[in-house]
Amino acid sequence: MTTVKSYAAQSAEKPLAPFQLNRREPGADDVEIKILYCGVCHSDIHTARNEWGGTMYPVVPGHEIVGKVTRVGQNVSRFKIGDTVGVGCFVDSCGHCQNCEEHLEQYCENGSSQTYNSHLQDKKTITYGGYSSHIVVTQKFVLSVSDKLPLEKVAPLLCAGITTYSPLKHWNVKAGDKVAVVGLGGLGHMAVKIAASMGAEVTVLSRSKSKEKDAQELGAHHFELTTEKENMDRLKSSFNFIIDTVSAEHDYNDYLALLRTNGVMVLLGVPPTPSAVSASRLIGGRRSLVGSLVGGIKETQEMLDYCAEHNITSDIELINIDQINEAYERTLTGDVHYRFVIDMASLN
């Protein structure tokens, strides 16, 4: 065991605070990583505050990790000390179910091991995430990261990037498609950049007028305020694909009405409470309401390579770890432009 520094929440009500964490010694297939940067995903907040239930305290959040390899086990062939690497939302899976065989580890039928607040495949050892100085991960779940792009801006690709890239690919969004992105936060701004890079005509649907100029700079072609009823009426039957990244309860029916015939709305945001959906909204127009969870390891590598090739990174605000609680509060009020990333050097 190596004791490392981290930040943890001890309960749903308490702010995150310094915590000493034990990491395993790297085994034969393991890579030990010194974490340089870790993005702050809204899922970290949902989990730290137990909004989805099931949080195991103390919890060390963080699943947008970029760092340098510091040690490798004897079977590790893909990485060497000093390599730049990333870790996303998963650190292991069973490896033999049908989904794992099809590179869909995130849907592992035997339960994937999430990067934090989850269990390793022994189903006993609790996982702790990236708000820490080091992490040890089995090599299959470690991603190669190009040194061409600024690493602090690459970190959010490990969750926000893949979570938006994967459904755009799966539902075959192509040049000329009319795509709407609901909610301009961490996921939303990556959805705008990636959909625009694929040639889609992108509209941001936001409740924050202050984000209009940013939306255009991020690559959106249009910006519409969802708080104005006239806008929502005018936009009926407009879009082929809607990416919903909203983290809080909202009425899906309002957005389904904006889909064209055969249109698809993918839910990425995970509000803690369920929401009623009107059958007639789906039936009238043969619309689909679907969901998607991050992406598999192979696809995450593909996305990282795609972003390096197309010069796509996240727009970030770099913070020190002792600003994490303030960053959570600002994320909750929508005051994030467009991802907080922790400079892990501040942990020392």
Q: Which residues are near ligand NAP by CB under 6 A?
A: 41-43, 46, 159, 163, 183-188, 206-208, 211, 245-248, 250, 268-270, 292-294, 331, 334, 336
By CB under 5 A, tell whether 91 contacts Zn ion. no
Taking the complex as a whole, how short is the minimal distance between the CB of residue 310 and Zn ion, in angstroms? 21
Q: How far is CA 71 from the centre of its chain?
A: 27
For residues 136 and 257, which CB has a smaller minimum distance to ligand NAP in the complex? 257
Taking the complex as a whole, how short is the minimal distance between the CB of residue 177 and ligand NAP, in angstroms? 20
By CB under 5 A, tell whether 268 contacts Zn ion. no
Taking the complex as a whole, how short is the minimal distance between the CB of residue 281 and ligand NAP, in angstroms? 18
In the list 21, 32, 43, 205, the residue contacting Zn ion (rule: CB under 5 A) is: 43
Give the amino acid at 292. S
**What stretches of the chain adopt beta strand conformation (E)?**
2-8, 17-23, 30-39, 65-72, 84-87, 90-92, 113-114, 134-138, 143-144, 178-182, 201-206, 222-225, 239-244, 259-267, 288-291, 316-319, 339-343
Taking the complex as a whole, how short is the minimal distance between the CB of residue 283 and ligand NAP, in angstroms? 25
For residues 187 and 195, which CB has a smaller minimum distance to ligand NAP in the complex? 187
In the list 21, 159, 194, 267, the residue contacting Zn ion (rule: CB under 5 A) is: 159
Partner whose binding site includes residue 183, from ligand NAP, Zn ion, none (CB under 5 to 8 Å by kind): ligand NAP
**Cβ atoms within 10 Å of 56's Cβ, excluding its own:** 13
What does DSSP assign to residue 311? Answer: T
Partner whose binding site includes residue 134, from Zn ion, ligand NAP, none (CB under 5 to 8 Å by kind): none
- Helix, strand, or coil (residue 182): strand
Both ends of the chain: CA-CA distance in Å?
Answer: 19
| CA 116-170-268 angle, 5° bins | 45
Round to whole Å and give the CA distance between 74 and 78.
11
Partner whose binding site includes residue 193, from Zn ion, ligand NAP, none (CB under 5 to 8 Å by kind): none
For residues 4 and 192, which CB has a smaller minimum distance to ligand NAP in the complex? 192
Partner whose binding site includes residue 207, from Zn ion, ligand NAP, none (CB under 5 to 8 Å by kind): ligand NAP
Partner whose binding site includes residue 34, from Zn ion, ligand NAP, none (CB under 5 to 8 Å by kind): none
Round to whole Å and give the CA distance between 331 and 10.
20
For residues 44 and 224, which CB has a smaller minimum distance to Zn ion in the complex? 44
* Dihedral angle computed from the Cα positions of residues 171, 173, 179 and 185, in that order, rounded to the nearest 10 degrees: 70
Select from 316, 6, 304 the least CA-distant residue to 130. 6
In the list 41, 59, 104, 168, the residue contacting Zn ion (rule: CB under 5 A) is: 41
Tokens of 103: 């590179």
- Residues near Zn ion (CB under 5 A): 41, 43, 159
